[in-house]
Each structure stands twice: as structure tokens, then as C-alpha cells.
Amino acid sequence: MAKINILQWLYKHSPLNFYSISQNNETVIKSINNTFAGYKYNRVFSNEDINSLRMVIKNFKRFSTVAVLLSYLILIYCLIFPHYDLFNDKIIRIIIIIFAVVLPFIVLALISKIFEFYLIKHFGNFTKTHFPSSDVIETQSYKDFKLEIVKIFVLLVIIFGIYFCIGSPYQTSLNLIEQGKYPDAIKMTTIWSKILPIDARWYSLRGYARFYNGDYEGAIEDFDKSYELKDDEYKSMSFDNKIYIKYILSDYDSALKDFDEEIKKTSDNGVKNSLLWDKAQFLYNIGKYKDALSIYNELINKSEDDSVYLLENRLYYERSQVYKRLGMDKKSEADEQKAQDLDLDIEYQTSIPEPTLILEEI
């Protein structure tokens, strides 16, 4: 059975196996981005020309790799990240995906044209042809190829080594916050919010750090951004954190306006009921007991149809506390008894919770 040297096979199909000399004294230079295409010259290149080409082609190939990478970064940071909501449209999503697939071919075609201009300028006109396969492995070119492979491998080892040494950036940011190093946490999360601007976690963590660093407005902006980006069951955490900040700043009107806007634009009845319940608790905590009572009455009526977001026994228990604040002791006692009849767990027999700042999703 014939043995296959994988490195030699890769070498033959790489740009560093960059030239071939035929028996007809023709030199064929391999295309830098098409392993099957070549540029034919009706003469044999000198050693000086070959050595010069070797370095030029290596640099062109590196430039091609960097150019493709940069083109994707530009696509991501100039189109996709700033307008990530475009992906909600199926047609636009398909167009962007097709463009992303075609993009490297466009970039490589342009660089190939530049390389062709270089060949014409330094070596004269050529004829395009198919690059001939050869069993002769040119020693220096093969060494260059293996060296490039080693460089790539070392770079990957360094990147993974750095990652495993410093740990997850998210966990590092979380640790900085838990250690009270809020300025450092802000720097870390700011860097990663630039790298991954559609990841809500960086804004949420930075909002938490900014709050404890005294930047309340900045914290509110970050929690707003995190809330906009989130689209799962933990989405409410950032909204609750924003409400907490406005609560401790006594900016009650603004907080209530936020509740009303979210309730109005939410189409999911379950989420709307959850927001109404949060608003009722908020009204209770700022002393607007009559407004809170109105919402509790509405939620108790809805609780028969929504057992996921609305816990009937807990609603009765909380309304009993509202009645107590309003001096309506008999109704308070009746609601508390109703809650007991509905098997209210001991753990639920606590005061209506105040807004609080949440660091991690539970």
C-alpha cells in the first residue's frame, strides 16, 4: 500500500509550491489563491528571480489571509452588529449570508489581480494556464511551507494558552466585581462590549460595576442596552436592575413610566402579567397603596387563567399587606386566610419584596 505524506500533499496544493519548470523550458508560477491556476512564461527563471518570488508570494498569501479576516470584521462590526435586528427579516438574512459566503472570493480575486500586475511589472506578460502537478519537491519551498505550518500552530497554541491562563473573560469580570474592583471590571467589560457588542452580558456586568462605582446614569444606560439585546427568560433581570436604581434615587415617576411603556409594548400576556405584578410591588414600596391595590385586584382576577406567571396564593397574601397599610384590617385578614386556604408555603409568607440589584441570572 502506498504511503501518503500529508505535509507533501498539502504542500503541492499550497501557494508555497509556487513554481514549476517544464521540459520545454517554460516556467509556470502558481496563482496565490487558486491552486489549479498558473501563469506561464516561455523561459526559465533565474535563481535570483525564484528567490525574489518566494518572498513576494509568501507576503501576498499572508496579505490575502489578513484581508479576508479584515473583510469579515468590517462586515460584522459595520453591518451585522450595528444592525443585528435586520436578521429578523428572512430575506435580508439570506442576502447577508450569501454575501458573507461570496465575500472572501471577491477579496481574493482582487488580490490575485494585484499579484498579476506585479508579475507583469517585474517579469513581463504571461499566459494563463493550468498549474502542472509535479513529483519533484523543491527543497527550500517545502521548508518554507513547513515553517508556515509551524508558525500557525505556535500562534494557535499561544492563543489557547492565554485563554486558559487568564480564564473566561466573563468569569474574570465577575470575579473583579465580587472583589469590589469596579474600575477594573468596567475596563474589562468595556473592552469585551466592543469585541462582542451584541452580547448582553457585558452591558449587564458593566451596569452593575458602574452602579457601585457611583455612575448611576451609565448603569441605567447599560441595563437598558442589555435589556434590548436579551431575548430569553432572563431578560427581565436588566429591567429590574434599572428599576432598582431609579428606586434608590427616588425617581419614581420615571420608573413607573418605564413599567407602563414595557407593559404597553409587550404582546405576551404572561410577561405582561409579570410586569404588572412587579409594578404592583413597586407601588407598594413607594407608598402608593391604592394604585397597588387596583393592580392586585386585576391580577387576582387573571390568576385563574395564568398559573405560570401568577401565583394566586401569593397574590392574596400580598394584597392582604396592602389592605393592612390602608387600614382595612378585616379585608386583610380575609385575604391572608384565603392565601392559607390555597396552601401558601411558609417560604412565601414574607413581606412584599423591595427592588434589588441582581448580579447573575439565577
Give 327-343 pLDDT, tens digit per residue.
999 999 999 899 888 87
Does residue 186 lie within any of the structural domains? no
Does residue 132 lie within any of the structural domains? yes
Q: Is the pLDDT of residue 137 over 80?
A: no
Cell triple for residue 4? 501518503
Q: Is the pLDDT of residue 88 over 90?
A: no
CATH number of the domain bearing residue 271: 1.25.40.10
So what's the pLDDT on residue 348? 61
- Residues 141, 249 within the same domain: no
pTM of the model: 0.67
Q: Is the pLDDT of residue 249 over 90?
A: yes
d(CA 114, CA 126): 14
pLDDT digit string, tens, across residues 2-29: 455 666 666 565 656 688 887 788 898 9
267-283: average pLDDT: 91
So what's the pLDDT on residue 142? 62
Cell triple for residue 148? 508556515
Q: Which of 157, 186, 219 is the last residue of a domain?
A: 157
- Residues 118, 247 within the same domain: no
Q: Which of 99, 128, 157 is the last residue of a domain?
A: 157
Could you give the count of Cα atoms lying within 13 Å of 229 in the half-sphere of its Cβ?
21
Q: Is the pLDDT of residue 320 over 80?
A: yes
Does residue 287 lie within any of the structural domains? yes
How many Cβ atoms sit within 10 Å of the Cβ of residue 254? Answer: 13
Lowest mean pLDDT segment, chosen from 135-149, 151-165, 324-338 = 135-149
- Residues 149, 247 within the same domain: no
Q: Is the pLDDT of residue 230 over 80?
A: no
181-187: average pLDDT: 94
Does residue 360 lie within any of the structural domains? no
So what's the pLDDT on residue 362? 42
Does residue 362 lie within any of the structural domains? no
Question: Is 115 or 198 the better-scoring residue by pLDDT?
Answer: 115
Does residue 264 lie within any of the structural domains? yes
Q: Which pLDDT band holds residue 269 (cuts at 50, 70, 90)? A: confident
Backbone angles phi, psi at 345, to 5 degrees: -70, 150
Scanning the chain, the segments in alpha helix (DSSP H) are 6-12, 47-75, 90-123, 139-166, 169-178, 182-195, 200-212, 216-229, 236-248, 252-265, 269-285, 289-302, 312-325, 329-341
Does residue 248 lie within any of the structural domains? yes
Number of domains in the chain: 2
So what's the pLDDT on residue 2? 47
Q: Which of 111, 141, 157 is the last residue of a domain?
A: 157
So what's the pLDDT on residue 167? 62
- Residues 238, 153 within the same domain: no
Contact status, residue 280 vs residue 292, Cβ threshold 8 Å: yes
Task: Provide the residue count of the chain.
Answer: 362
Task: Report which of 160, 152, 183, 185 is spatially closest to residue 171, judged by C-alpha positions.
Answer: 185
Does residue 207 lie within any of the structural domains? no
Domain that includes residue 333, residue range: 232-348
